[in-house]
Structure 1
Amino acid sequence: MASYEEVKDIPNHPTKYLFDVRNKNELEETGVLPASINIPLPELEKAFNLPDDDFKKTYGRAKPSIDAEMIFSCKAGGRAARAANLIKTLGFINAKAYAGSWTEWEQKQGK
């Protein structure tokens, strides 16, 4: 599991990825995690099966390598855990969930 401190430090680590798997309307209601890439959970498998060029065009960042460090976040941690497990089944080896997700982030940011 990823910690709040790890997620907060993501902008300082350009080789790490933070994916927010909430739906777009949830992001509009709450805000976004800094340096996160939004791929709603229902679209995740399709996104990670895109060719590298298409992934970059769609999400504005190079597709993660098989061993890239990835953290998944959602609202309260459930979808993040499912996303990390799904990505592992696709062969990616360094995926983990941010258990606290947006709920913890918002509390610790004092908003």
Structure 2
Amino acid sequence: MPAFQKCALRAPEDEFRNKHGFKKPTQSQEIIVYCRSGKRSATAADIANKYGYTNVKNYSGSWLDWSKREGENRGN
């Protein structure tokens, strides 16, 4: 997770915007993290909290859960 710590949390605003194409979130802005199964996103949420981000949520089901639910909603 060192790359996440460096680019997403410690980068200056202009560097963040240039790399990611959107404004860096404020420390109180809602941030929802996810990954394939929920393990890496839980780590990412913990790191963000340690850096002072106070409104971080982990979508614990993550991509696998979302794609399964999306398939059920479409009748697949």
Q: What is the TM-score when the length of structure 1 is the normalising length?
A: 0.61
Q: Hey, what does 1:67 align to over in structure 2? A: 28
Question: Bigger radius of gyration, 1 or 2?
Answer: 2
Could you tell me how far apart the structure 2 residues matched to 1:78 and 1:104 are? 13
Asked if 1:43 corresponds to 2:17, the answer is: no
More strand by share: 1
Gaps of 5+ in 2: none
Displacement of 1:42 in angstroms is 4.2
Give the aligned residue type for 2:13.
D
1:83 to 44, 49, 52: 44
Displacement of 1:75 in angstroms is 0.7
Gaps of 5+ in 1: 1-40
Could you tell me how far apart the structure 1 residues matched to 2:28 and 2:70 are? 30
Could you tell me how far apart the structure 1 residues matched to 2:69 and 2:16 are? 32
State the 4+ residue runs in structure 1 displaced beyond 6 angstroms. Answer: none
Could you tell me how far apart the structure 1 residues matched to 2:56 and 2:45 are? 5
Task: Give me the identity figure in percent.
Answer: 35
Give the aligned residue type for 2:6.
K
Q: Hey, what does 2:67 align to over in structure 1? A: 106
Displacement of 1:43 in angstroms is 1.7
Displacement of 1:97 in angstroms is 0.5
